[in-house]
Amino acid sequence: QSALTQPASVSGSPGQSITISCTGTSSDVGAYDSVSWYQQYPGKAPKLKIYDVSSRPSGISNRFSGSKSGNTASLTISGLQAEDEADYYCSSYTSSSILVFGTGTKVTVL
Amino acid sequence: QVQLQQSGPGLVKPSQTLSLTCAISGDSVSTNSAAWNWIRQSPSRGLEWLGRTYYRSMWYHDYALSVKSRITIKPDTSKNQFSLQLNSVTPEDTAVYYCARGVGSWYWGFEYWGQGTLVSVSS
């Protein structure tokens, strides 16, 4: 099972909105609504930001939103802040009954 | 508040068995509303889901195809914890290992994570 494809890096200025894509296939992202998004700082465990495509866990800012169209899921961060600078990963359930992660995206706040 | 505390050795010799434990507080390993997972991360392989265990009137296990022949995830209800055993390790199994609690419709969102354990496979 191949990893989901994410852009290596995305950048934006404070206050702007950015969108990170996560491209899979009709056997994973396109087939199931089990897409999640994680934020990870260096040396720390990932933190769940979005699950089930667009649901936010308790305590997660509504600046983070998720969506899906076909085989591509997206994470949008609005009102970009310095603290949003981190690595972001998507994940999806697959038809092979396993979970696959994305390649990761480094977000830089200019 | 759910907390996961990992324990286990940080160095394992090639061909031996990697064993880690994840102690749960604030929830029960036998709950019907979560799944308990092991995930690892390395520079070469990125984030990799290894497997999970969950209870729905009986115990179920799902394992990643890449490790299916070598992995066992076991719940321990007496200690409210679950464990990972990975047999016949090679240097490619060197990674930071995490345990995590899955939530969501099918429990694939990992809301709570352990602190991570760096496991090196080396003689």
Rounded Cα gap, residues A47 and A40, in angstroms: 6
Closest alpha carbon within chain B to A52: B104
pLDDT grade for B106, boundaries at 50, 70 and 90: confident
Question: In this complex, do B64 and A98 lie within 8 Å of one another by their Cβ atoms?
Answer: yes
Let me know if B31 is exposed, middle or buried by CB neighbors in 10 A (0-12, 13-18, 19+). middle
Structure tokens at B122: 């080396």
| pLDDT given for residue A2 in this prediction | 84
Question: In this complex, do A48 and B114 lie within 8 Å of one another by their Cβ atoms?
Answer: no
pLDDT grade for B59, boundaries at 50, 70 and 90: very high
Structure tokens at B91: 């240097």
| pLDDT given for residue B112 in this prediction | 97
Question: In this complex, do A52 and B46 lie within 8 Å of one another by their Cβ atoms?
Answer: no
Cβ atoms of residues B117 and B11 within 8 Å: no
Question: In this complex, do B115 and A45 lie within 8 Å of one another by their Cβ atoms?
Answer: yes
Nearest by Cα to A46 from A3, A84, A75, A89: A89
Instruction: Tell me the average pLDDT across B87-100.
Output: 98
Q: Is B109 on the interface with A (CB under 8 A)?
A: yes
Strand positions, DSSP E, B10-113: 11-12, 18-25, 35-42, 46-55, 59-63, 71-76, 81-86, 95-103, 109-113
Q: Is A98 on the interface with B (CB under 8 A)?
A: yes
* The amino acid at A34: S
Structure tokens at B60: 């179920």
- In the predicted model, what is the mean pLDDT of chain B? 96
Cβ atoms of residues A32 and B109 within 8 Å: no
Q: Is A3 on the interface with B (CB under 8 A)?
A: yes
Quote the minimal CA–CA distance from B14 to chain A in Å: 25
Whether B90 has a pLDDT exceeding 80, the answer reads: yes
Structure tokens at B118: 């760096």
Chain A residues inside the 8 Å CB shell of B108: 34, 36, 51, 91, 93, 99
Question: In this complex, do A104 and B113 lie within 8 Å of one another by their Cβ atoms?
Answer: no
Which residue ranges of chain A lie beneath pLDDT 70? 1
In sequence order, the β-bridge partners of residue B81 are: B23, B76
Question: In this complex, do B46 and A38 lie within 8 Å of one another by their Cβ atoms?
Answer: no
Whether B54 has a pLDDT exceeding 80, the answer reads: yes
| pLDDT given for residue A95 in this prediction | 87
pLDDT grade for B117, boundaries at 50, 70 and 90: very high
Whether B105 has a pLDDT exceeding 90, the answer reads: no
**What would you report as the CA-atom Rg of chain A, rounded to the nearest whole angstrom?**
13
| pLDDT given for residue B100 in this prediction | 98
Cβ atoms of residues B35 and B96 within 8 Å: no
